[in-house]
Amino acid sequence: MRIGIEARIFSSASFGGIARSVYNIISSWMDDYPQHEYFLIGFNPLVIDESKLPANWHVVIRKAKINKGAVWSRLVLPKIIKELRLDVYWGTSYTLPPKVKNVKMILTIYDLSLLHFKGIGQRKTEIGIKLFGKSNCKKADKIVAISEATKKDIIDTWGIKNEKIVVSYCGGPQAIRARDLVVKEGNNVKDTITRPYCLFVGTFEPRKNIPTIIRAFEEYARGGGESTDLILCGKRGWRCENIYEMIEQSVVKDRIKVFGYINDEEKEYLIHNARAFLYPSLYEGFGIPVLEAMQQGVPVITANNSSLPEVGGDAAFYIQNVLDYKELASMMETVLALSADELKELQKKMKAQTQRFSWRKNAEEIMSIMEGLLGKG
């Protein structure tokens, strides 16, 4: 097969969740499916180091007069697909080009949070999903949803037929070690940590509900939590100025440490040494950080919404009202007071839960969809 992959998500070294998911899948394909020819397609330079790609992997960068996602996808991408004689094209980030004769198209949908919560995402992304999300789904030969919650949302919101959607869960860090294709950034975080801490890792954006984390930490500190700090890590996203203002004005700002984007080694170190991982997101298509924390045996406090219960199972702690900072503070007290025996039992549950998810399985399932569409399965 000749497989085209939308690679615009690899135009920044500060990988978000979507780029990291696709990165793990293609890393698995490089090892397990060398018989196919792959094309990473975009209009901006990628941070992928081409010299480290196998011979059957190619980077195709094609600029246009107007290098805007929707315009480029509509006017330029179909020509590239024809020139490359692709058998299948994978839209990795919500969008597809117009149909091209004899080319099968797969679209991955991660979540529809932008349609349910006003003002939590980038305006251009929100407009794009509202205008073209449904039509892109209708163009697709198959849609990959990363959770049952996302599949249900696609059906309920856009009326897409159940049989057109396949659920394929993301993986966790235990499945494969992604190939070292990208130059790493770093913050030397180890040098600045001197006290126990609770941790959040994720893009600084409204959906991640970071203000509630800060208020909960303040409440916890007022209640006597004097020995624990709060560490917030992630790249600066959109509509996040209030987060930095809250920290600056906080009565416990000296106990709140903020790092920007952290590389994989730093993230692994921070998670491994955290007392608790805080992830009370407003809405998640999957929630990879929850798995990453559980893989390290760190108690997770998350929200009882969207896909998060699918990911956390009975191995995570849930708050019912995602905006109730007092509920989150109370849960922090509970988790941080776990005895050694209680933590040991919880870690058994975490291990069992994380074993349900695998990047290799995720990669195999998407490849199976492609082969099935082309009658090669």
Query: Quick check: pTM over 0.85?
Result: yes
Measured between alpha carbons, how far is residue 179 from residues 17, 58, 173, 217 in Å?
A: 17, 16, 13, 37
User: Does residue 241 sit in the same domain as residue 94?
Assistant: no
Domain that holds residue 305: 189-354
Whether residues 365 and 336 fall in one domain: no
Verify that 132 and 234 share a domain, yes or no: no
88 and 151 part of one domain: yes
Ordered per-residue pLDDT tens for the chain, 377 residues: 999 999 998 987 667 778 889 999 999 999 999 999 999 999 989 988 888 899 999 999 998 776 677 788 888 999 999 999 999 999 998 999 999 999 999 999 999 988 888 777 677 777 888 888 999 999 999 999 999 999 999 999 999 999 999 999 999 764 334 445 554 455 667 777 889 999 999 989 999 999 999 999 999 998 877 789 999 998 888 888 899 999 999 999 999 999 988 888 888 899 999 999 999 999 999 999 999 999 999 999 999 999 999 999 999 999 999 999 999 999 999 999 999 999 999 999 999 999 999 999 999 999 999 999 998 75
Q: Which helix (H) or strand (E) holds 351?
A: helix 340-354
Instruction: Flag whether 203 is in a domain.
Output: yes
Q: What integer pLDDT is reported at residue 176 of this predicted model? A: 36
Residues 226 and 105 in one domain: no
As a whole number of angstroms, the distance between CA 225 and CA 222 comes to: 7
- Are both 131 and 7 inside the same structural domain? yes
Specify whether 328 is located in the same domain as 277: yes
How many domains, in total, are found in the chain?
Answer: 2
On whether both 207 and 345 belong to a single domain, the answer is yes
- Asked if residue 324 and residue 237 are part of one domain, the reply reads yes
Same domain, 367 and 244: no
- Tell me, yes or no, whether 336 and 236 share the same domain: yes
Whether residues 142 and 212 share a domain: the answer is no
Total residue length of the chain = 377
Q: Is residue 180 part of a domain?
A: no
Tokens 């709060």 belong to which residue?
230
Q: Residue 56 belongs to a domain with what CATH number?
A: 3.40.50.2000
Q: What is the pLDDT of residue 116?
A: 83
Q: What single string gives the DSSP state of each residue in 215-257?
A: HHHHHHHHTT--S-EEEEE--B-SS-HHHHHHHHH-TTGGGEE
Task: Say if 11 falls within a structural domain.
Answer: yes
Compute the distance between CA of residue 20 and CA of residue 5 in angstroms, rounded to an integer: 14
The strand order across the sheet containing 142-145 reads 57-61, 37-42, 2-6, 88-91, 104-109, 142-145, 165-167
> Apex CA 11: angle with CA 137 and CA 370, to 5°?
40
- Can you tell me whether residue 167 is helix, strand or coil? strand
Res 14: pLDDT: 62
210-222 vs 325-336: helix crossing angle, rounded to 10: 60
User: Distances in Å between the alpha carbon of 95 and those of 90, 111, 261, 264, 344?
Assistant: 9, 13, 26, 28, 44
Residue 178 inside a domain? The answer is no
Within-domain flag for 181:
no
C-beta separation of 97 from 113 below 8 A:
no
- Evaluate whether residue 281 is within a structural domain: yes
